[in-house]
Amino acid sequence: MTDTVLVERDGRIAVVIVNRPDKLNALDHDTIQALRDAIVSLSADADVGAIILTGSGEKAFIAGADIGGLSKQGVLDGKANAQHGQALTLAMEACPKPVLAAIQGWALGGGLEMALACDMRFASTKARLGLPEVSLGIIPGYGGTQRLPRLVGAGKALELILTGDPVPADEALRIGLVNGVFEPEALLAGVRAVAEKILSRGPTAVALAKQAVRRGVHLPLAEGLELEADLFGMISSTAEMKEGMQAFLEKRKPDWS
């Protein structure tokens, strides 16, 4: 871990903070690696049940990649740079715990691509989200061209990518880019409340449900249904399922411990 990425614990919630406020939390090579290390470590930590990703300060969630570094790249290191960022987004998707983005300001380029890899996204009313890469003569490289169409549809994704124009929080909510919008001072508390609600559910069920959606979205329907049935069978063998069902029948809260 470096001082560009901070991790704060609040019970079973880990808040991962990109801490480069002087650069609007822009992502350079080392910060991407530090973020990936943090996500991988928290994924394996049994004391962590949910992760919130946010940025330092009020101006930006993550205002893109560090343009100074990208401006020097050629073909080979350009591809390597893209794969370096993509490895982080894949680690976020593979994390068995829910990963939620708290977007308090600019989420541009690589910043929006990090948010797209989260399971849910919540924005401040002052947030602005976009993929402006074409205005710099490049294209999104950390998964934006692939995840955005899956989330908002190809037409709207192409509009955002080809114009490079950012959208405000209310428009992001309307098109399904974010799950909810909060006033700036209520954003982190609002996202924590969502995380706490998820933590009140069966942890294995949450992990398998995330896996079903993350893997199934890329499969034909028949294969996705088979995956769902396999995971449904897997959860049916657990003590967690038995406790959840028994708690329901006894009209009490389940004890997931």
Domain co-membership, 85 together with 175: yes
Say if residue 2's pLDDT is above 90.
Answer: no
Q: Classify residue 255: in a domain, yes or no.
A: no
Percent above pLDDT 90 for the chain? 91
Q: Which CATH number is 219's domain given? A: 1.10.12.10
Domain co-membership, 120 together with 13: yes
Structure tokens at 222: 């028949």
Q: Classify residue 162: in a domain, yes or no.
A: yes
In the residue annotation, 113 being an active-site residue is answered as yes
Q: Classify residue 256: in a domain, yes or no.
A: no
Say if residue 1's pLDDT is above 60.
Answer: no
Q: Which helix (H) or strand (E) holds 180?
A: strand 180-182
Among 56, 65, 51, 59, CA closest to 101: 51
The pLDDT of residue 75: 67
Q: Classify residue 140: in a domain, yes or no.
A: yes
d(CA 93, CA 217): 12
Structure tokens at 131: 């993929």
Domain co-membership, 138 together with 12: yes
Domain co-membership, 113 together with 222: no
Q: Classify residue 254: in a domain, yes or no.
A: no
Domain co-membership, 190 together with 208: no
Among residues 133, 185, 196, 226, which one is catalytic? 133
Say if residue 129's pLDDT is above 80.
Answer: yes
Q: Which CATH number is 119's domain given? A: 3.90.226.10
Domain co-membership, 55 together with 72: yes
Percent above pLDDT 70 for the chain? 96
Say if residue 185's pLDDT is above 90.
Answer: yes
Q: Report the DSSP beta bridge partners of residue 167.
A: 129
Lowest mean pLDDT among 74-88, 99-113, 169-183, 224-238: 74-88
Q: Using pLDDT thresholds of 50, 70 and 90, give the confidence band for residue 71.
A: low
Burial 147-170 (b: 16+ CB within 10 A, else e): bbbeebeeebbeebbeeeebbbbe
Q: What is the extent of the structural domain holding 245?
A: 203-249
Domain co-membership, 171 together with 208: no
Domain co-membership, 24 together with 72: yes
Q: Classify residue 257: in a domain, yes or no.
A: no
The pLDDT of residue 78: 82
Q: Classify residue 88: in a domain, yes or no.
A: yes
Q: Average pLDDT over the chain, rounded to whole?
A: 94
In the residue annotation, 58 being an active-site residue is answered as no
Domain co-membership, 94 together with 144: yes
Say if residue 161's pLDDT is above 80.
Answer: yes
User: pLDDT tens, 9-62?
Assistant: 999 999 999 999 999 999 999 999 999 999 999 999 999 999 999 999 999 999
Say if residue 135's pLDDT is above 70.
Answer: yes
Q: Using pLDDT thresholds of 50, 70 and 90, give the confidence band for residue 77.
A: confident
Lowest mean pLDDT among 76-85, 87-96, 136-145: 76-85
Domain co-membership, 98 together with 151: yes
The pLDDT of residue 51: 98
Domain co-membership, 127 together with 211: no
Q: Are 126 and 184 in contact (CB under 8 A)?
A: yes
Q: Classify residue 235: in a domain, yes or no.
A: yes
- Residue range 181-206: average pLDDT? 97
> In the listed set 199, 215, 230, which residue is the last one of a domain according to the structure?
199
Among residues 8, 93, 113, 228, which one is catalytic? 113
Q: Using pLDDT thresholds of 50, 70 and 90, give the confidence band for residue 128.
A: very high
Domain total for the chain?
2
Domain co-membership, 108 together with 226: no
Q: Are 18 and 25 in contact (CB under 8 A)?
A: yes
